[in-house]
């Protein structure tokens, strides 16, 4: 039994190291929902976007923001009118800080990681991706519970 468990763990680790990383789309999409500004003006400290977004070159390296709110939003130097979307492709790994009116803090951090080219980098990337997905999911559940 223990040998089977160890074999399964070793197989999963080998897959994580050797399998190529790909995504159906290179876009990472986030929406600013209708009513965000009104809720914030009424005193609700709503956080509808993560304060830190992680992208990976060659996998998911295009940030897409959709403004579904009834008021304009600013992201970096861009003014997004209600109903507009904004796409920002990244080509260099770095940590970027942007002005973002959809955040109570007024800023958003975007970390762009290099493509995980070797086996250890792929294992690390997959582990971090699981963490980020869990974090986004719990943030989403928390936000929906407050509606």
Domain that holds residue 66: 27-145
The pLDDT tens digits of the residues spanning 33-61 come to 898 888 888 888 777 788 888 898 888 88
> Using H for helix, E for strand and C for coil, what is the string for 72-135?
CEEECCEEECCCCEEEEECCCCEEEEEEECCCCCCEEEEEEECCCCCHHHHHHHHHHHHHHHHH
User: How many domains does the structure of the chain reveal?
Assistant: 1
The pLDDT tens digits of the residues spanning 5-16 come to 656 655 555 554
Q: The domain spanning residue 39 has which CATH number?
A: 2.60.40.420
Domain presence at residue 119 = yes
Domain presence at residue 15 = no
pLDDT at 128: 81
Domain presence at residue 6 = no
Domain presence at residue 66 = yes
Domain presence at residue 9 = no
């Amino acid at each position: 039994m223990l040998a089977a468990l160890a074999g399964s763990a070793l197989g999963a680790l080998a897959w994580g190291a050797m399998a190529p990383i790909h995504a159906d789309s290179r876009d990472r999409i986030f929406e600013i929902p209708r009513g965000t500004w009104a809720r914030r003006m009424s005193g609700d400290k709503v956080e509808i976007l993560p304060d830190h977004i992680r992208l990976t070159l060659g996998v998911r390296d295009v940030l897409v923001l959709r403004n579904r709110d009834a008021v304009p939003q600013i992201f970096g130097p861009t003014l997004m009118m209600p109903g507009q979307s904004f796409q920002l492709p990244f080509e260099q790994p770095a940590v970027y800080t942007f002005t973002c009116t959809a955040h109570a803090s007024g800023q958003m951090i975007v970390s762009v990681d290099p493509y995980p080219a070797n086996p250890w980098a792929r294992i690390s990337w997959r582990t971090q991706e699981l963490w980020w997905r869990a974090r986004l999911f719990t943030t989403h559940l928390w936000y929906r519970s407050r509606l």
